[in-house]
Amino acid sequence: MKPAHYTVLAGGTGAAKFLRGLVQVVPEEQVHVIVNVGDDTDVWGLHISPDIDSITYALAGKLDTLRGWGLVNETFRCLETIEAFGMPGWFRLGDQDLATHLTRTHLLRSGLSLSETVERMSKAMGVKARVLPATDDPVRTKVETPQGMLGFQEFFVRDQWKPEVRSVSYAGATEARAPAVVLDSIRDAQLVIIAPSNPITSIGPILALHQVREALRCTRAEVIAISPLIGNAAVSGPAAKLMEACGYEVSPSGVARCYHDFLNNIVIDVRDGALASSIRYETIGVRVTNLLMPDDIAARKLAEFIVLSDSR
């Protein structure tokens, strides 16, 4: 019999913080992370997978936790030289980080799938958790603005998520397939956790894979989400703005609604305790704790709260 595992659906920064806590509470080998690829992009001919890298770097203890992305003790000499050629440097690829993108792009061009590439590279970095791209097929988040359709990184990094948002879509998601390991991970999990990630641009592209959404509806495991919102504001990033643009109430209730067809429980912050009864009537259970994770100790406490209050 396979050992029990915990499956986490994840974006970048918020999920990375939570996972640093989770691996202090359960054996890292028992953690599976299904990661968003909607943020993936091509820069200088290299395949960049920002969320996969944030998760892998965090689990390897190498994430720059102040920035929330990239490697700690990073330098940007290569980028500075590129800028000196008069080329745009708004997407800040660090010197060591470039090694990740060069290796991944080389392995992909030699015929490996994204999943195989991530497995090989995460193992090489000493990560024992399974880091699973939600799909090996190209799925790209597109943000419709009055200036036109933007790729996610253009919207998020270049334009600092300032443009007005008319809609969000996931190009390629209808045709994309989830790897069997992703679907099995959801079906056979001890507990499925939706990380405190942006419901629209981090979790949304994963749920846009219809096989994943179906697996979440069918799994016998409890599915629990951690709200990325406290009150009507995101802990970080554009979740509030994007939820509003997509017609969701900007609150933990709105987050629960994004996941209404498969969610059993949502964890909300103590400051939102008064909302608990209004969410509960929708048959979704509510648990209340402190959601802020300024450090690994707070992340461990949140992970303990979730794993130890697992109701089954």
Q: Check residue 171 for interaction with ligand FO1 (CB under 6 A).
A: no
Among 97, 136, 222, 269, binds ligand FO1 (CB under 6 A): 97
Q: By rule CB under 6 A, what count of residues binds ligand FO1?
A: 18
Q: In the bound complex, which residue of the shown chain has the CB atom lying closest to ligand FO1?
A: 12
Question: Three-state DSSP class for 118?
Answer: helix
Which tokens in the block code for residue 233? Answer: 């504001």
Does 153 interact with ligand FO1 (rule: CB under 6 A)?
yes
Among 78, 157, 171, 298, binds ligand FO1 (CB under 6 A): 157
CB of 278 to ligand FO1, least distance (A): 29
Please, what is the minimum distance in Å from the beta carbon of residue 282 to ligand FO1?
A: 28
**Do 286 and 244 touch, CB atoms closer than 8 A?**
no
Contact status: 11 vs ligand FO1 (CB under 6 A): yes
Among the listed residues 19, 35, 48, 134, the single contact to ligand FO1 using CB under 6 A: 48
Nearest distance from C-beta of residue 71 to ligand FO1, angstroms: 9
List, in sequence order, every residue forming a beta bridge with 169; answer none if it has no partner: 142
Alpha-carbon distance of 41 to 243, in angstroms, equals 23
Alpha-helical (H) ranges within the chain are 13-25, 50-59, 77-84, 95-109, 114-124, 152-153, 180-187, 204-207, 210-218, 239-245, 252-258, 276-280, 296-308
Nearest approach, Cβ of 69 to ligand FO1 (angstroms)? 3
Residues in 180-219 that interact with ligand FO1 by CB under 6 A: 202
| 93 lies in the binding site for ligand FO1 (CB under 6 A) | yes
Q: Which residues contact 132 (CB under 8 A, 6 or more apart)?
A: 32, 33, 34, 35, 115, 118, 179, 181, 182, 185
Q: Are 153 and 131 in contact, with CB atoms under 8 Å apart?
A: no
12 belongs to the binding site for ligand FO1 (CB under 6 A): yes
Q: In terms of C-beta density within 10 A (0-12 exposed, 13-18 middle, 19 or more buried), how is residue 268 classed?
A: buried
Residues lying near ligand FO1 in the complex (CB under 6 A) are found at 11-13, 39, 48, 50-51, 53, 69-70, 91-93, 97, 153, 156-157, 202
